[in-house]
């Protein structure tokens, strides 16, 4: 371990990153940029070719990434391949492959298992392997370690070293997050964790906290479960306010004036690649154990129900005008999962559209960031029986309620993110419903 530590400190350690996705590619670029020789491993040949041609394989706007990729590829610091044999001389191997959960909320580790199975036989003696993917607590001990020992024929801490350092990057801020967010650095031994800190110190300008592997697995899944529970609380409060005549947006503002309160934003649902998945990874970590897990699954259920609540608001509002969803034409504003993003993974809008179509409604989708849904929303609104705001894109904050009202066949607007001012919407003649606002109390 001492030799490896020294090579890492003087950047002579040869690095590999397996999985050139939205996490692996920026990680590879960043380590290459600091002076390491980095090999990117990717099974999709098109991606390998693009990376070697300095063409970014990441969609969406990632400030600085395309330029950095060009710089490190042209400098010969980063190259990509699909051939695992090229890993034979690598001292440090970071693994950034997907760890999704299936419809039964069980983690699918096929990609991770496949990588570990292929890596074992070619692994350099005393190499350091670091899992950066988000994994359920206990995965390092029960899945990664045994699989690597079997595929390499060596024992951990004798023939190789092992740790996990969960990624903390968000779409749209990949490089900034990589450099600026603290990391929990889990090692199978304290020495391994310290060596990992020496590695990440070259890239991360924030806290690097050495811990054991179970702690690293817990922190990552808990930080996102915490957010999911917080959002679910806000959503449940929104439902209460709708029913008892409150306005959740006002209530939230005043609650958060109380010390140590930070009530999150209620809304039309919780999408993305992290928040909907990581709570299930955390729960899976205690599967088979007699632990009464209630709050985390219940929070997931609340958040998953919000797009359906939007359907209910729409149906109720149309019904108050003598209309039904069936045969109506609905304009859905926003398909990405997050404001000002083009990322549609686990989008709440997808759930909403699916249910509207079940009612045989005609759905027109607009999203300024998602290529297949770009267009002129004013044209799309013409003749629609209602509009539904699902995402707080900044473009939607400029919508003139009077303009919208003039275009709709039936002047109904259901707002899932509090984008439009209630008073202005009403003054424009819109029949306006908003998550967390009761019908009666709207001025
Ligand atoms: N959402 C709400 N109410 C809120 C906050 C979010 O309904 O108060 C919804 C959003 O509309 C979206 C979903 O939840 O559909 C997720 O939003 P997010 O802001 O959590 O964004 P993500 O999914 O990109 O989460 C990532 C996470 N980062 C990592 O996993 C490394 C999360 O831990 C971060 O807190 C979050 O980014 C962030 O801070 O932006």
Helix (H, G, I), strand (E, B), or coil: what is residue 157? coil
Give the whole-angstrom CA distance, residue 172 versus residue 177: 9
| 3-state DSSP helix/strand/coil % of the chain, to nearest 5 | 45, 15, 40
Query: Quick one: tokens of 153?
Result: 């024929």
Of 152, 183, 206, which residue sits at a domain end? 206
pLDDT of residue 57: 85
What backbone torsions phi and psi does residue 420 show, to the nearest 5 degrees? Answer: -105, 140
What CA–CA distance (Å, rounded) separates 278 from 273? 9
Nearest atom within ligand 1 for CA of residue 235: 7
Report the relative pairing of strands 183-187 and 160-164 from DSSP bridges: antiparallel
Q: Which of 165, 213, 241, 274 is catalytic?
A: 274
Same domain? For 350 and 391 the reply is yes
Indicate which atom in ligand 1 lies nearest the CA of residue 265.
8
CB neighbour list of residue 120: distance below 8 Å, 6 or more residues apart:
147, 148, 150, 151, 152, 153
- For residues 254 and 403, state if they share a domain: yes
If one counts every other C-beta atom within 10 angstroms of the C-beta of residue 104, the result is 6
Atom 4, ligand 1: which residue's CA is nearest?
265
| Same domain membership, residue 385 and residue 284 | yes
Distance CA 371, CA 344 (A): 11
Can you tell me which atom of ligand 1 is nearest the CA of 264? 8
Contact between 39 and 16 (Cβ < 8 Å)? yes
Task: Please check whether residues 78 and 134 belong to one and the same domain.
Answer: yes
pTM for this one? 0.94
Verify that 315 and 253 share a domain, yes or no. yes
Question: If you measure from the C-alpha of residue 413 to the centroid of ligand 1, how many angstroms do you get, rounded to a whole number?
Answer: 25
Q: How far is the CA of 320 from the centre of ligand 1 (A)?
A: 34
Residue 113 CB coordination number (10 Å): 15
The residue among 302, 299, 279, 61 whose CA lies nearest residue 170 is 61
Is there an atom of ligand 1 within 6 Å of 264 CB?
yes
Do 111 and 222 lie in a common domain?
Answer: no
Say if residue 173 is in the same domain as residue 221: no
* Domain C-terminal end among 206, 230, 255: 206
> Residue 184 pairs with which residues in a beta bridge?
209
The whole-number pLDDT of residue 61 equals 80
- The contacts of residue 157 (CB under 8 Å, 6+ apart) are 188, 189, 192
Distance CA 48, CA 43 (A): 8
Does residue 140 line the site of ligand 1, with CB under 6 A? Answer: no
Q: Is the CB of 170 under 6 A from ligand 1?
A: yes
Q: Ligand 1 in contact with 231 (CB < 6 A)?
A: yes
141 is catalytic: no
- 279 pocket-lining for ligand 1 (C-beta < 6 Å): no
- Do the Cβ atoms of 337 and 343 come closer than 8 Å? yes
Cα(274) to centroid(ligand 1), Å: 8
- Of 42, 146, 55, which Cα lies nearest the Cα of 86? 42
- Dihedrals φ, ψ of 286, to 5°? -115, 15
Same domain, 91 and 237: no
Q: Residue 20: which CATH number?
A: 3.40.50.720
Q: Whose CA is nearest to atom 11 of ligand 1?
A: 338
Query: How confident is the model at residue 172, as a pLDDT?
Result: 85
User: Which residue, among 229, 228, 227, 216, has the nearest Cα to 285 in the 3D structure?
Assistant: 216
Instruction: Tell me which of 29, 165, 213, 220 is the catalytic residue.
Output: 220
Nearest CA to ligand 1 atom 33: 224
- Taking the C-alpha atoms of residue 328 and residue 323, their distance in angstroms, rounded to an integer, is 8
Confidence at residue 49, expressed as pLDDT on a 0 to 100 scale = 97
C-alpha span between 344 and 370 (Å, rounded): 8
What six digits make up the tokens of 82? 């699909």
Same domain, 40 and 150: yes
Which of the listed residues 206, 224, 249 is the one where a domain comes to its end?
Answer: 206
Measure CA of the first residue to CA of the last residue in the chain; give whole Å: 68
3-state secondary structure of 100: coil
Residue 310 shares a structural domain with residue 196: no
How many domains is the chain partitioned into structurally? 2
| Protein residue with its CA nearest to atom 26 in ligand 1 | 170
Q: Which residues in the chain come in under a pLDDT of 70?
A: 440-443
Compute the distance from residue 275 Cα to the ligand 1 centre, in Å. Answer: 6
Domain that holds residue 239: 212-443
Helices (H) and strands (E) in the chain, counts: 17, 13
Any atom of ligand 1 within 6 Å of the Cβ of 426? no
Q: Is residue 220 among the annotated active site residues? A: yes
Ligand 1 centroid distance, CA of 294 (Å)? 22
Distance from chain centroid for Cα 183: 17
Give the integer Cα–Cα distance in Å for 425 and 420.
7
145-183 residue pLDDT tens: 999 999 999 999 999 999 999 999 888 899 999 999 999
Evaluate whether 94 touches 18 at the Cβ level (below 8 Å).
yes
CA torsion sign for 407, 410, 415, 418 is positive
Residue 228 sits in the same domain as residue 168: no
Beta-bridged to residue 15, according to DSSP, are 38, 92
pLDDT, residue 443, reads 46
Residues 230 and 95 in one domain: no
Give, for ligand 1, the residue of 27, 274, 277, 303 to mutate: max count of ligand atoms closer than 8 Å to Cβ.
274
């Amino acid at each position: 371990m001492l030799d490896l530590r020294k090579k890492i400190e003087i950047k002579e350690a040869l690095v590999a990153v397996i999985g050139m996705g939205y996490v692996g590619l920026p990680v590879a670029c960043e380590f290459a940029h600091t002076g390491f020789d980095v090999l990117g491993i990717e099974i999709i040949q098109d991606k390998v070719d693009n990376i070697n041609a300095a063409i970014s394989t990441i969609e969406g706007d990632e400030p600085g990434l395309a330029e950095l990729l060009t710089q490190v590829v042209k400098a010969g610091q980063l190259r990509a391949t699909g051939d695992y044999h090229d890993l034979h001389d690598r001292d440090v191997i970071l693994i950034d492959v997907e760890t999704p959960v299936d419809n039964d909320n069980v983690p699918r580790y096929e990609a991770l298992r496949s990588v570990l199975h292929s890596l074992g036989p070619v692994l350099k003696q005393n190499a350091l392997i670091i899992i950066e993917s988000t994994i359920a607590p206990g995965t390092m001990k029960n899945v990664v370690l045994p699989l690597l020992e079997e595929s390499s024929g060596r024992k951990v801490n004798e023939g190789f070293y092992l740790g996990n350092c969960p990624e903390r990057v968000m779409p749209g801020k990949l490089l900034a997050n990589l450099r600026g967010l603290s990391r929990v650095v889990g090692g199978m031994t304290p020495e391994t964790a310290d060596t990992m800190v020496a590695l990440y110190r070259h890239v991360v300008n924030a806290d690097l906290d050495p811990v054991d592997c179970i702690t690293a697995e817990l922190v990552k899944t808990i930080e996102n479960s915490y957010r999911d529970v917080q959002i679910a609380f806000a959503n449940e409060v929104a439902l209460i306010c709708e029913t008892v005549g409150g306005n959740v947006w006002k209530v939230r503002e005043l609650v958060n004036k109380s010390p140590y309160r930070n009530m999150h934003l209620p809304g039309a649902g919780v999408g993305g690649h992290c928040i909907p998945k990581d709570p299930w990874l955390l729960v899976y970590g205690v599967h088979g154990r007699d632990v009464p897990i209630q709050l985390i699954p219940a929070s997931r259920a609340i958040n998953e129900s919000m797009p359906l609540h939007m359907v209910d608001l729409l149906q109720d509002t149309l019904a108050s005008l003598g209309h039904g969803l069936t045969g109506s034409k609905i304009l859905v504003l926003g398909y990405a999962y997050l404001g000002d993003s083009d990322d549609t993974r686990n989008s709440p809008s997808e759930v909403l559209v699916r249910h509207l179509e079940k009612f045989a409604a005609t759905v027109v989708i607009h999203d300024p960031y998602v290529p297949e849904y770009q267009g002129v929303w004013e044209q799309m609104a013409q003749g629609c029986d209602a509009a539904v705001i699902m995402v707080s894109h900044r473009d939607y904050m400029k919508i003139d309620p009077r303009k919208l009202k003039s275009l709709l066949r039936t002047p109904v607007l259901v707002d899932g993110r509090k984008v439009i001012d209630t008073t202005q919407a009403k003054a424009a003649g819109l029949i306006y419903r908003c998550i967390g606002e009761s019908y009666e109390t709207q001025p």
